[in-house]
Amino acid sequence: MNEKRWIVFIVSLLLLSLSGCCTSAGIRDNGNGAYAVRENLGDLADKQTESAISSERLNGAVEGAREQSEQLSGEIAASRADSEKLERSITDGTGDIEALATILQRIRKRGSKTDSRDANSDR
């Protein structure tokens, strides 16, 4: 009985060792794939670094544009205030011109009355 167990044990070891040889043949080329993956990971790391640098540049450009936008917004607000002042001065000037026109008309009326009196007194 012991001999049968030994024979079964030896046959099982032989089968396991043969199956190990068969499976290792399939893994033999697996190293090539690992090298390709490592190479791709290196490329990805380089591209990620480039992407981070580009992102920082874009953030700087956006920040500069935001500051310029704020500055232009302030200038626009100042221009609006100046245009409102100019509009008020134009409307005030229009009122002043109308007042001067009425004064001028009064002066002309007075002048024409005195001229007509002088002309009548000469006769």
pTM assigned to the model:
0.43
Terminus-to-terminus CA distance in the chain, angstroms? 174
DSSP 114: H
Write out the two tokens for 46.
């380089």
pLDDT of res. 123? 47
Residue scoring higher pLDDT (115 or 104): 104
Least confident of 35-39, 45-49, 76-80, 117-121: 117-121
Average pLDDT, the chain: 83
Instruction: Give per-residue pLDDT as tens, 49-87.
Output: 999 999 999 999 999 999 999 999 999 999 999 999 988
What span, in angstroms and rounded, lies between the C-alpha atoms of 54 and 58? 6
